[in-house]
Chain A
Amino acid sequence: GENVGLHLPTLSVQEGDNSIINCAYSNSASDYFIWYKQESGKGPQFIIDIRSNMDKRQGQRVTVLLNKTVKHLSLQIAATQPGDSAVYFCAGGGSNYKLTFGKGTLLTVNP
């Protein structure tokens, strides 16, 4: 099955800096990956996704990088803002309907 986990449980950055949150997975059959942001007391909010036929995808201030060779993906947030403070989850899936979630990284943005 899928095993998705995160390298660091917490990350603290200064406002305006770039943030990088990392994630590793173990199932080579995984072909879909997604990042979520979860604020306290709320459900996870979709940020960006990527399929295994790509190695990079960009959104507004966010970039996801996928390295299939080492089974690693990362979320980069440019010019991090206080509103970016939250827990960030990666999740991975295959051809079935299920996603397996990592434990999450708490991002704290210092003003």
Chain B
Amino acid sequence: SQTIHQWPATLVQPVGSPLSLECTVEGTSNPNLYWYRQAAGRGLQLLFYSVGIGQISSEVPQNLSASRPQDRQFILSSKKLLLSDSGFYLCAWSHGGNQPQHFGDGTRLSIL
């Protein structure tokens, strides 16, 4: 069966520091991969998605970037974190369009 892993589960970072969140998927090949941010009490905002290695689509202009160095690895990065980058970051995978997206358990990021 397929599994998705995100780490770390929680992270506290100072303003201006770099960020790297990693997401890996097991048990499937060539998945679509997604990064979302969820503000407290809100829905999910799509940040990036990828349909293949090295292919990244950005949904909103922001301080973050994404990379997909391997088929089942998706990384969310920032060179300098802002206070507004705080939130709950979720990674998801799917087999394609009009298919369920399956989520990891997220990373709670707090910026101080």
Contacts and interface: CB of A to CB of B under 8 A. Distances in A.
5 contacts: A43-B104, A44-B44, A44-B90, A46-B101, A104-B43
Contact of B43 (A34, A41, A49, A102): A102
A8 to B, nearest CB: 14
B102 interface: yes
Interface residues of B, number: 24
Interface in A67-111: 89, 91, 93-104
Interface of A: 31-32, 34, 36, 41-46, 49, 51, 89, 91, 93-104
Contact of A95 (B43, B49, B97): B97
Task: Specify which of A43, A49, A101, A102 lies most central, judged by the most chain B CB atoms within 10 Å of its CB.
Answer: A43
A24 to B, nearest CB: 14
Nearest to B45: A101
A94 B32 CA distance: 15
B111 interface: no
Nearest to B4: A43
A42 B9 CA distance: 10
Contact of A89 (B44, B97, B105, B106): B44
Given A98-B46, A101-B43, A93 B97 contact: yes
Contacts of B41: 104
